[in-house]
Chain A
Amino acid sequence: DAGVIQSPRHEVTEMGQEVTLRCKPISGHNSLFWYRQTMMRGLELLIYFNNNVPIDDSGMPEDRFSAKMPNASFSTLKIQPSEPRDSAVYFCASIVGRGTGAYNEQFFGPGTRLTVL
């Protein structure tokens, strides 16, 4: 398996532009997570999905952020409009089945480094 795939790896955009980050989880994993990592705040959970359904989006900073998971193999995180304070590394991660009681090792993608000028 290729692991969790994220695209693009780097994104540079100007303030006010729409940004779309993409994630393909590991096949067979039914829980998907979006995180944001900055030096100041560390790694923060933005939203997670179980079986394509958003479960907890309390970490989404504001209405400018939205996430979708139209099917088990694809998710997007969209920022519209983007602002300089959104600059960070955004990670996607997946696990087999959250809360099943089994060993749920979490697998992370390589991240998307977003710079908003």
Chain B
Amino acid sequence: KQEVTQIPAALSVPEGENLVLNCSFTDSAIYNLQWFRQDPGKGLTSLLLIQSSQREQTSGRLNASLDKSSGRSTLYIAASQPGDSATYLCAEMELVFGKGTKLTVNP
């Protein structure tokens, strides 16, 4: 059974810093991996989706990578802003979600 883990559970950085969020999964036979953002009291918003055949996807200041052999995905956020403060979750297909990393970007 697929398990998705995100470490750390919380991260605090100063504004302007580049940062990496980590996601690991146990079963390398992954169909796709999706990164979401969740603001307090809200639903999830899809940020990036990486298909199994892809290695990375980019959207603006965000870049997500997928390494199936090591069971890892990373979400890179460039030049972080206070508005990036949220919880970031990764998920294998729509089935198994990590518990998320709560990101705080301090002005």
Contact = CB atoms under 8 A, between A and B. Distances in A.
Contacts of A95: 94
The SS class assigned to the A binding surface is strand
Most interface-central of A44, A95, A107, A108 (chain B CB within 10 A): A108
B94 A111 contact: no
Contacts, number: 51
A99 B51 CA distance: 11
Interface in A63-91: 91
B45 interface: yes
Contacts of A31: 94
Contacts of B89: 43
Contacts of A110: 42-43
A106 B94 contact: yes
Interface string A97-112: 0110101111111110
Given A33-B94, A91-B43, A98-B94, A105 B49 contact: yes
A109 B44 CA distance: 8
Interface string B64-107: 00000000000000000000000001010111111110000000
Category for how many chain B residues contact A: 20 to 34
B42 A42 contact: no
Contacts of B49: 103-105
Nearest to B34: A106
Interface residues of A, number: 24
Contacts of B51: 101, 103
Given A33-B94, A42-B98, A91-B43, 12 more contacts: A4-B43, A35-B97, A42-B97, A45-B97, A98-B94, A103-B51, A105-B34, A106-B36, A106-B94, A110-B42, A110-B43, A111-B42
Interface of A: 4, 31, 33, 35, 42-45, 48, 91, 93, 95, 98-99, 101, 103-111
Interface of B: 31-32, 34, 36, 42-46, 49, 51, 89, 91, 93-100
Give 3 closest A-B pairs by Cβ, nearest first.
A108-B43, A42-B99, A43-B97
